[in-house]
Amino acid sequence: MQDDVSKVIISETAIRDRVAALADELARRYADTSDGIILVTILAGSVIFLADLIRRLPMKMRIGLITVTSYPGATTRSHGAILASASLPDLRGRDVLIIDDILDSGGTLRLVQDQVRRAEPRRVTTAVLLRKKANAPANLPVDFVGFDIEGEFVVGYGLDYNGLYRNLPYIGVLKPDLYEAES
Ligand code: HPA
Ligand code: MG
């Protein structure tokens, strides 16, 4: 599997340091919460980010899960975000933090932000590990960003291509011949 990667963009240690810094920022932001926050996590790409992040958070928290498909099968292009399933605690009046692996075309986050807002939480903020700044729509606000990256399709640390490579401990790019040609 490691042989399929042509370039490591963000190393394991760089991710660890940045996730720790993000957790510190979140701890400060939510220092005043008494009833805790709800982390709405977008599956499956965000599971590793979530697991590493929450073990560094000092406040009370609950987890909600939401599954969105937008890159089905062997593709590096969004085919439109579809809400596949949701398992969420009651969000009404609560402090909600949406967690996603990557802000790319923005379709997934827009769908999830709309869905969460419909449940009438007190406050909604969003944290993403990665942001492709050139692609991300200007009118889609995210409050916390781990890394800004270029437009290349990346895998690892939760992110997949065709369901694979989520378990790589770093963020990298695959060898070009592994991406199937798309018309
Ligand atoms: N890699 C993996 N999944 C993605 C990406 C990416 O670059 N962009 C949107 N979903
Ligand atoms: Mg994916």
In sequence order, the β-bridge partners of residue 161 are 164
Domains and CATH numbers, the chain: 12-150 (3.40.50.2020)
Ligand 1, pocket residues at CB < 6 Å = 71, 102, 104, 153-155, 159
38-92: pLDDT as tens digits: 999 999 999 999 999 999 999 999 999 999 988 888 888 888 899 989 999 999 9
100 is catalytic: no
Nearest atom in ligand 1 to 153's CA: 7
The beta strand positions in 88-167, using DSSP E, are 95-103, 123-132, 144-149
Could you give the C-alpha distances from 92 to 96, 116, 119, 123, 124, in angstroms and in order? 9, 9, 6, 10, 11
The model's pTM: 0.94
Atom 1, ligand 1: which residue's CA is nearest? 154
Please state whether beta strands 37-43 and 95-103 pair in parallel, antiparallel, or not at all (unpaired). parallel
